[in-house]
Amino acid sequence: PTYFKVTRIDRLSRMFGFFKAKPAKLLAKKECLTGRNKPIGDAPSGDYKHYVFKNKLYPPFPEGSEMISLGMGCFWCSESLFWKMKGIVSTHVGYQQGDTPNATYREVCSGHTNHNEVTRVVYDPKVCPLEEILKIFFETHNPTQHMGQGNDQGTQYRSGLYYYKPEQKAIIDKCLKAYQGALDKRGKGSITTEVEPAKEFYYAEESHQQYDAKPGSRQYCGLRPLGIKFPALEEEKKSS
């Protein structure tokens, strides 16, 4: 399968640090790679089916669905966290919030695109409220680590939440404040999560989609959670 070729390259890059010489901060747009005006050749085809859900990977999604993009470090590690949640319509990984159109994985790893590796989650808010997704987000990575996650260092591994609707921003702010309060009680530092309106999403190579579920995948996890539970929100307390 095509995914073996890319994962071997990635395995070597992580073992020997081929991509470690990267900027510690985002670049001016003029310093980023120029990219290309069409999707990369290894992107999933239009009729590609989700490896786990067996449904379509591209929009349009069912009426009433909403989307949120999550930067948590390596997207191999984050996508699979949402597969068993009720109300999840689709997940896919890609590159977002950068300045290089249709970037490749290697270009993103160079640190010269400003893109973040993200998992985009498509969900039914009537079944899976955004708060439930954000609970997983905060509990399963370290939102206080700046421009990296564990040993994965670079701007493409930054903590980020990228929303598609103003109503989502209000929920994000509420949840971020609640989790910061939980961290403050344990002296765990300040959340550095980037919160922005979602820019154009570029699908990552087919080899990276639903990577953890594919035969021969490397069981790698670069996420470094702090071990602090997400606190119950005031609305939940009142209804319980």
What distance in Å separates the CA atoms of residue 236 and residue 211, rounded to the nearest whole number? Answer: 34
3-state secondary structure of 192: coil
**Taking the CB of residue 38, how many other CB atoms lie within 10 A of it?**
9
74 is catalytic: yes
Tell me phi and psi for residue 165, to 5 degrees: -135, 145
Q: Which of 74, 109, 128, 175 is catalytic?
A: 74
Please check whether residue 164 is in contact with residue 200, taking contact to mean a CB–CB distance below 8 angstroms: no
- Burial class from Cβ neighbours inside 10 Å (0-12, 13-18, 19+) for residue 164 reads middle
Active site residues: 74
